[in-house]
Amino acid sequence: MNSQTAFATPLLAPELPCPSGLTTWNNSDPATRYAVYRNNVVVSLIDALADTYPVVQQLVGEEFFRAMAKVFALVNPPRSTVMACYGQDFADFVTSFPPAASVPYLADMARLEMARVLAYHAADVPHLPNEALRSALTDPDQLMHLQLALHPSVQVLASPFATVSLWAAHQGVACLSSVDPDVPQTALVFRHALEVNTLEVDSAVGKFICALQARQSLMVAARQANEQAAGFDLGAALALLLHWQLITTITTDKEDHEPAH
């Protein structure tokens, strides 16, 4: 084992002793001083998770959250220096963390909060001007063959729980006691201007947007949405995307994907 492996390994393994080869001017136990590094590493990772998952923390309380985050961090330390996106597998961890089982919607809340972080930092891509959209969407020959690319911040999260309402209740915009957590909800997360928005949408709209993100044509996406829930309203779904300026390019699957004009 080289010296940096010997120094690094106990940082994430509290059961291991302080590495050898350390010295102190007063012959004090180096373990006390090495513990500063241990603490810096673990606390900084817990703090990063706390920054990303404030509602998860509110749902279980700070003490439980930090204990859970520590268990996660010791096993799943960052692989990237970009800490803003650290903990993308935290939701999966929460699902399989037995002490959190009494809050069944906790993992989906974590997914929602990570989606918000990713939306916040997503690439800046300009939306299509309204004129270009209007002309493309009003040509009936073209319409169903169009492929719409959406802003990279757009994410859909379908949950068997009332994740959106629970999240909103923790922003002070709704009363937590009035939320029935067992109502399935689909969240649409995106950045508009500089703000991240979290909206509840019909499950069919969620399906439609996911299909568009999978590069399906408008026709295929609408069919899949209708299979999800009969009575899918394509016009309303497009109006939603237009209103929030989430469409970035339009192409057509006819004629070798030439852009629509």
Partner 1 sequence: MSTNRFNPSKSALGGATAKLPQRAGVGLKPQHFQDILDSWPDIGFFEIHAENYMVPGGPFHHYLTRIRERYPLSIHGVGMSIGADGPLNVQHLNALQALLLRYQPQSFSEHLAWSTHGGVFLNDLLPLPYNTTTLQRVCDHIDQVQSHLGRRMLLENPATYVEFVASTWDEGAFLTEVLRRTGCGLLLDVNNAHVSCINHSRDARATILSMPLAQVGEIHLAGFAEQLDGSGDLLLIDSHSTPVAQVVWDLYAFTMKLAGPQPTLLERDNDIPAWPVLLAEASVAECQLQVMREDALPHLTAVTVEAAT
SS3 state at 160: coil
> For partner 1, which stretch binds (CB under 8 A), given 75-83, 96-104, 164-172, 247-255?
75-83
In the range 150-189, which residues lie near partner 1 by CB under 8 A? 152-153
> For partner 1, which stretch binds (CB under 8 A), given 15-23, 134-142, 175-183, 202-210?
15-23
CB of 76 to partner 1, least distance (A): 10
Residues 119-138 vs partner 1: string with x where CB under 8 A?
-xxxxxx-------------
N-to-C CA span, the chain: 63
Rounded Cα gap, residues 72 and 128, in angstroms:
41
Out of 45, 68, 143, 148, name the contact with partner 1 by CB under 8 A.
Answer: 45
Residues 165/185, Cβ–Cβ less than 8 Å: yes
CB of 176 to partner 1, least distance (A): 27
CB of 127 to partner 1, least distance (A): 13
Q: Which of 106, 102, 212, 101 is nearest to 155 (CA)?
A: 212
Between strands 155-159 and 146-150, the pairing is unpaired
Contact status: 145 vs partner 1 (CB under 8 A): no
Residue 136 has φ and ψ, to the nearest 5°, of -70, -40
CB of 73 to partner 1, least distance (A): 10
CB of 256 to partner 1, least distance (A): 30
Residue 129 has φ and ψ, to the nearest 5°, of -60, 150
Residues 33/24, Cβ–Cβ less than 8 Å: yes
Contact status: 91 vs partner 1 (CB under 8 A): no
Cα-to-chain-centroid distance, residue 47: 18
Q: Which residues bind partner 1 (CB under 8 A)?
A: 2-5, 7-8, 11-12, 21-34, 36-37, 40-41, 44-45, 48, 77-85, 120-125, 152-153, 191, 194
